[in-house]
C-alpha cells in the first residue's frame, strides 16, 4: 500500500483533523500515518479546549513515521503554535527525499475558535509555505495570505495567483464560503495551469471537516501517483460526493468519506 502522512490536531468529535484525514486515506486505499500536533476537546458545535503536544513528542512522531513508513505524500493541518510550525519546517527541510506537501492553513474553526496563533502564522508564511507543493486556504484564510478581502470568483483567481507569487507554492483557493453563488467554486493555480472547479451546493447541510477531508483527498491521490492537477480534480469530486452523501450522527451532519465502497482510481 502507498503511505500518506497527516500532521494535524486531533478532533474528539471525529469530524475534522486527524480522524477526518485517516478516514479519507482509508477510503482511497492508502495507508494513513499521523503526527499529532495538539489535542482538542471539540464537537461539531464548538471547541472547548486545545493543548499542544510537547515539542519533542511531535519531533519523535515524525522521526518514527519516516524511519519505517516513509510517506509518498504528506499534509499539514492544524499546527496551532509557532513551535509546532518550526519543528515541522525544520524536519522537512532536513529530508533528502521530501514528499509532496499539502498545507491546509487551519486558522479559525467553523465555530470561531482561533486555531493558529499570530506568531505561528508569520512562521508558516516564512518557513513552511515555501516548502509546500500546494496550499489549500478557504476564503478567509486566502484573504489573509493574499492581503485582500475576497468577495467573488475573480477575487479567488487573484488570491491564487498572489499566493503563488508570494510563497512559490501552487494554490487551491476554496470558495465554498462565498455568498450569492449557485455552485461551490474553487480556483487552482500552479503558475501555468489555472482551473475553475465547481460542484452544486448541498443546501441545509452544515458539515464539519470539509477542508481537512479535501486536502487529505489531494494528499491521498498524490500518494497513489496522480499528478497534482489530477489529484486536485479528483479530490474535488471526492469532497463533493462526501458532502452530498452525508450521514447523520447525534443530530449532526457527518461527511461520508466512504460514499463509494470502491472508488475507481482512473
Q: Give the residue numbers annotated as catalytic, written as ranges.
A: 174, 207, 209-212
Q: Collapse the DSSP code of 9 into the 3-class scheme (helix H, G, I; strand E, B; otherwise coil) and give the result.
A: coil
Strands 183-189 and 170-174 come out as antiparallel
All three cell numbers of 48, joined, read 472547548
Euclidean distance between CA atoms 219 and 260, whole angstroms = 18
Euclidean distance between CA atoms 218 and 238, whole angstroms = 9
Strands 101-103 and 73-76 come out as parallel
Euclidean distance between CA atoms 130 and 97, whole angstroms = 16
- Contact in structure between 55 and 87 (CB atoms under 8 Å): yes
Which neighbouring-strand residues pair with 92?
none
Q: Collapse the DSSP code of 99 into the 3-class scheme (helix H, G, I; strand E, B; otherwise coil) and give the result.
A: coil
Euclidean distance between CA atoms 77 and 54, whole angstroms = 17
Backbone angles phi, psi at 184, to 5 degrees: -80, 115
**What is the DSSP secondary-structure string of 97-158?**
SPPPEEE----B-TTS-B-B-HHHHHHIIIIIGGG-SEE--BHHHHHHHHTS---SHHHHHH
Amino acid at each position: 500500500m502507498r503511505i500518506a502522512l497527516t500532521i494535524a490536531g486531533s478532533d474528539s468529535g471525529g469530524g475534522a483533523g486527524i480522524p477526518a484525514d485517516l478516514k479519507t486515506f482509508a477510503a482511497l486505499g492508502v495507508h494513513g500515518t499521523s503526527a499529532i500536533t495538539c489535542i482538542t476537546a471539540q464537537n461539531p458545535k464548538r471547541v472547548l479546549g486545545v493543548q499542544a503536544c510537547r515539542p519533542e513528542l511531535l519531533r519523535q512522531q515524525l522521526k518514527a513515521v519516516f524511519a519505517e513508513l516513509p510517506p509518498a505524500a504528506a499534509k499539514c493541518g492544524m499546527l496551532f503554535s509557532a513551535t509546532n510550525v518550526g519543528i515541522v519546517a525544520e524536519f522537512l527541510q532536513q529530508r533528502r527525499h521530501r514528499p509532496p506537501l499539502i498545507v491546509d492553513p487551519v486558522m479559525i474553526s467553523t465555530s470561531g475558535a482561533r486555531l493558529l496563533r499570530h506568531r505561528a502564522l508569520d512562521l508558516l508564511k516564512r518557513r513552511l509555505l515555501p516548502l509546500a507543493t500546494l496550499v489549500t486556504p478557504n476564503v478567509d484564510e486566502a484573504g489573509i495570505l493574499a492581503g485582500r478581502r475576497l468577495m467573488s470568483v475573480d477575487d479567488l483567481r487573484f488570491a491564487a495567483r498572489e499566493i503563488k507569487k508570494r510563497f512559490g507554492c501552487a494554490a487551491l483557493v476554496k470558495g465554498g464560503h462565498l455568498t450569492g453563488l449557485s455552485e461551490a467554486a474553487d480556483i487552482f493555480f500552479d503558475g501555468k495551469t489555472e482551473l475553475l472547479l465547481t460542484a452544486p451546493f448541498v443546501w441545509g447541510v452544515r458539515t464539519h471537516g470539509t477542508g481537512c477531508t479535501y486536502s487529505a483527498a489531494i494528499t491521498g491521490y498524490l500518494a497513489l501517483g496522480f499528478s497534482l492537477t489530477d489529484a486536485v480534480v479528483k479530490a474535488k469530486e471526492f469532497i463533493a460526493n462526501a458532502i452530498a452523501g452525508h450521514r447523520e450522527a447525534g443530530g449532526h451532519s457527518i461527511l461520508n468519506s466512504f460514499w463509494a465502497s470502491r472508488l475507481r482510481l482512473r
